[in-house]
Amino acid sequence: MSSPYPSGSLLFRAMALIKAGQLPKPLEPDPEHQTLTPTEAAKYLKVGVRAVRKAIRERKLAAFKVGCRNWRIVVVDLNKYIENLVAEWSIPPSDDGRP
């Protein structure tokens, strides 16, 4: 039966690195790869969760599944979705100067 703890030599090596101050720097989250749940995305967009899930279902908003039920949305994809919404709802200016 193996132990869930690191082997002795690995543990001693880690302790030596700690004492020498040579630990690797922790990974910082990359904003391009940060993900949101549909609930978090809905809160950010100030809409209901059903609207976000509908956009995912209609493939207007890119998302991926984690496990069998949990969806995640990459922040970059959410920004693209917002840009598409703005472009879709933008009304071109008329020639007579009226909005």
Per residue in 4-59, pLDDT tens?
A: 555 556 666 666 766 776 655 665 666 667 899 999 999 999 999 999 999 999 99
Task: State the burial class of residue 97 (Cβ atoms within 10 Å of its Cβ: 0-12, 13-18, 19+).
Answer: exposed
Q: Has this prediction a pTM greater than 0.85?
A: no
Domains and CATH numbers, the chain: 29-89 (1.10.1660)
- Rounded Cα gap, residues 24 and 97, in angstroms: 61
Sheet arrangement for strand 70-74:
35-36, 70-74, 64-66
- Indicate the pLDDT class of residue 94, thresholds 50, 70 and 90: low
Contact of 78 with 34, CB cutoff 8 Å: no
For the residues 50-75, what does the mean pLDDT come to? 93
Whether 93 shows a pLDDT value over 70: the answer reads no
